[in-house]
Amino acid sequence: KNEVEQSPQNLTAQEGEFITINCSYSVGISALHWLQQHPGGGIVSLFMLSSGKKKHGRLIATINIQEKHSSLHITASHPRDSAVYICAVGGQGAQKLVFGQGTRLTINP
């Protein structure tokens, strides 16, 4: 079993739908990262959190440390949100990250 599991692996939705991507982990962590990777593109950091909730525009990330679970939500989804979303967790020092397999999101117009 992977240390970091994401679900679903693939998600297709219509423009405007509310999107939820889940991440569960089995190791103790200092921080959890959500990353975005566009097709053929590089990887950018969306959120880094160790507790509670963070919001940036239409994106919201939450984490429940006790349940070892995090969710990434996208409100009013748009085709430009189509990308692979990656969850990664870090232990002591938080630089050595363990990555989930990613969730491929496709938003159709």
Partner 1 sequence: NAGVTQTPKFQVLKTGQSMTLQCAQDMNHEYMSWYRQDPGMGLRLIHYSVGAGITDQGEVPNGYNVSRSTTEDFPLRLLSAAPSQTSVYFCASSSTGTGYYEQYFGPGTRLTVT
Query: For partner 1, which is the closer residue by CB, 26 or 30?
Result: 30
Among the listed residues 10, 20, 26, 50, the single contact to partner 1 using CB under 8 A: 50
* DSSP assignments along the chain, one per residue: --SEEEE-SEEEEETT--EEEEEEE-S--SEEEEEEE-TT--EEEEEEESSEEEEETTEEEEEETTTTEEEEEESS--GGG-EEEEEEEE-TTS-SEEE---EEEEEE-
CB of 48 to partner 1, least distance (A): 5
* Number of residues located near partner 1, criterion CB under 8 A: 26
Query: Is residue 100 a contact residue for partner 1 (CB under 8 A)?
Result: yes
Complex with partner 1: residue 4 or 19, whichever CB lies closer? 4
Site for partner 1 in 72-91 (CB under 8 A): 86, 88, 90
Give the residue, chosen from 39, 42, 57, 109, that forms a contact with partner 1 under the rule CB under 8 A: 42
